[in-house]
Amino acid sequence: VCAQQELLPCKSLPNTVLFQLLGLSIATLSTVTHYGLHFTLISNISLENNSYRVIHHAAFYSGICLSMTLILAALLSSVATMRESQCLTAMGFFCFALAFCGLIPAACWRYMHSTEVEDSMMDVYDLVYEEVRRNASSFRRHELTAIHEAFLCCGKHSPFGDTANVERKTCPSGQVHDAGQDCLQEIQGFLKKHMDFASTLLGVTIGFTVYGMILTSFLWFSIHFSSNLDRKGKYILR
């Protein structure tokens, strides 16, 4: 968006569509993480003293709040440029700054607690598997079968004795444990791919959020000085 007037500099603003796509991407990732089969299955099975359930809900609500903040910031910046409004520009900058303040702790937590989610998910599987092995509980057997079907894996290497009986009753037909489809490895691999994608999206969003803060700052000063000179231009999208 640029001003068509010689005396007023061309005013750039953050690409509204880009920030909306970023916001929608974060919202989609948060929704998939919260309602996806693999994650909801582990969350429903996990015990209250397991940290996974807390992380599961916190990630969803934080992601939704962050996505809405980015979309609002982009819309405010766009309207502020069209109307040359200092107030709306300041509000857009505040939204970008708020998103930035939420992204930095999320990135720090991701790298300082990189294995916490992975460990908590595998702890849930270990608990269910060992209970089925010891007691052959029909309820736990159903949960273990659901995990095997969701992750397309079969059992694990256990130091506590023969597990062939458990795997024969809970593994999907056609899954062979000797083929290397250990469930702990499958859970670890699945979560690593998911977390790598989330980390990449987080890094890209931080970069564009800083970009948005810089451009809204420039826009505010541009509108401020042009208002003092009473020079207001017409705007077109190109």
Domain assignment present for residue 194? The answer is yes
Domain assignment present for residue 198? The answer is yes
Domain assignment present for residue 33? The answer is yes
Enclosing domain of residue 191: 24-118+139-156+181-225
The 8-class DSSP code of residue 160 comes to: T
Domain assignment present for residue 173? The answer is no
pLDDT digits (tens, 9 = 90+) for 129-186: 888 888 766 788 888 889 988 888 888 876 555 556 677 777 876 655 444 468 888 9
Domain assignment present for residue 19? The answer is no
The residue type at 189: G
Domain assignment present for residue 190? The answer is yes
- Judge whether residue 5 has pLDDT over 50: no
Q: What is the mean pLDDT of the chain?
A: 81
pLDDT digits (tens, 9 = 90+) for 42-72: 998 887 777 888 889 999 999 999 999 999 9
Domain assignment present for residue 3? The answer is no
How far is residue 73's CA from residue 79's CA, in Å, rounded to a whole number? Answer: 10
Please tell me the total count of domains within the chain.
Answer: 1
pLDDT digits (tens, 9 = 90+) for 182-213: 888 899 999 999 999 999 999 999 999 999 89
3-class SS of residue 232: coil
Token couple for 126: 């270990």
How far is residue 75's CA from residue 119's CA, in Å, rounded to a whole number? Answer: 40
Q: Could you tell me the end-to-end alpha-carbon distance of the chain, in angstroms, rounded to an integer?
A: 7
